[in-house]
Amino acid sequence: MLYPLKFQPVYKDYLWGGRNLEKLGRKLPQGIIAESWEVSAHPDGLSVISNGPEAGLILNDYLMKYGKAAVGELVAEQYLMRFPLLVKLIDANQQLSVQVHPDDEYAAQNEAGEFGKTEMWYIISAEPGAEIVYNLKPGVTKEVFRQAIKAEQIEEQLQYMEVFAGDVIFIPAGVVHALGAGIVLVEIQQSSNATYRVYDYNRTDANGNKRPLHIDKALEVIDFDNQQLFKSKGLKLNLNSEVARSVLTVNPYFIVELYEVDGDVFENATGDCFCLYTFIEGTATLTSAAGSLPIDVPESVFIPAKMGKYQITGSFKALKSYIYNINNRNSLLTFLKQAYDETEINKVFWGVF
């Protein structure tokens, strides 16, 4: 019987992390915790199933065992061998490096076949005045930026944006970005670890060494023509008195929605596509044919594509992420056109028309 899967978190101790995930209710190991990889089939941090008969099995092996019954009939064949998504909790206790990610084509050619990295952030909490770097200032060309790097004047070329709890930040490959200090978030991304650092504030690690930069690759992949800012709260519909559903982003790599529930939400995994729920607030119980599963917020749960009907009960907020396909797109368009015009809808749809 297919059933909802939980996983053992994979913790990363990068120098900019802290202990702020404890404030969400997570029990942490000792030391600095910068990231918790919640659901991952990437070799740099493999998820291990922690519940039920499949406990102890690596996610990759589970997907090979169950194939399209787990991943979905409408999901591309390549994702049977390479799971497409990676979900993280991130504690930016200090500012992160200024960085950029490659797209699929560049990563395939230059990063041993990695996926590119398009990602989104959902801000769980932000200290007053917390900012992110998002994109370059209008008019900054490749040559201008190259000279700024040589002169160590990068910060003058960057756009800064204050963020607040509930903000949704969409970051396509090619957009320069960085988290500032005092932000805790969920990151949903392509399953890739291809990151090109442009600037790291001249920091050193515990051994006095600076982290490497990747200037040449960064200059090749930065989209100097893209001056847009992708910040929103999503598009929200109240389904009934108990459930509000917001579409946060629809792009060629993934779809993310926010569920705000005080009662019951009923779903059905009919075989089209898997989905991931990342519970970020409240209390919840997930009930399926396999029984009841209490959720320890913050926690992520994998729903196999052919699991069948299930119900989530409680008072909670959860992000639901899954893979884009034309059926999903059309369903969401119909859903949103009940309440929004085309201009508003385009704010959450990127690169899919």
Q: Per the omega criterion (within 30 degrees of 0), is the bond before 304 cis? A: no
Element (H, E) at 37: strand 35-39
Token pair 């206790």 is at which residue?
93
**Exactly one of 197, 203, 211, 245 is catalytic; which is it?**
197
CA–CA dist 254, 270 (Å, integer): 18
Burial of 93 (0-12, 13-18, 19+ CB in 10 A): buried
Q: Which residues pair with 266 in a beta bridge?
A: 311
Please give the angle made by the CA atoms of 179, 185 and 191, to the nearest 5 degrees: 85
In the chain, the amino acid numbered 264 is D
In the chain, the amino acid numbered 265 is V
Long-range contact pairs involving 202-208 (C-beta distance under 8 Å, separation at least 24): 203/15, 205/15, 206/15
Percent helix / strand / coil, the chain, rounded to 5: 20, 40, 45
Burial of 90 (0-12, 13-18, 19+ CB in 10 A): buried
CA–CA dist 283, 98 (Å, integer): 36
Q: Verify whether residue 197 is a known catalytic residue.
A: yes
Token pair 């600076």 is at which residue?
210
Q: Which two tokens stand for residue 223?
A: 């989209």
Q: Which of 229, 194, 187, 195 is nearest to 321 (CA)?
A: 187
Beta strands in 140-274 (DSSP E): 158-162, 168-171, 177-179, 183-190, 196-199, 231-232, 235-238, 243-250, 255-269
Query: Which residues are designated catalytic?
Result: 197
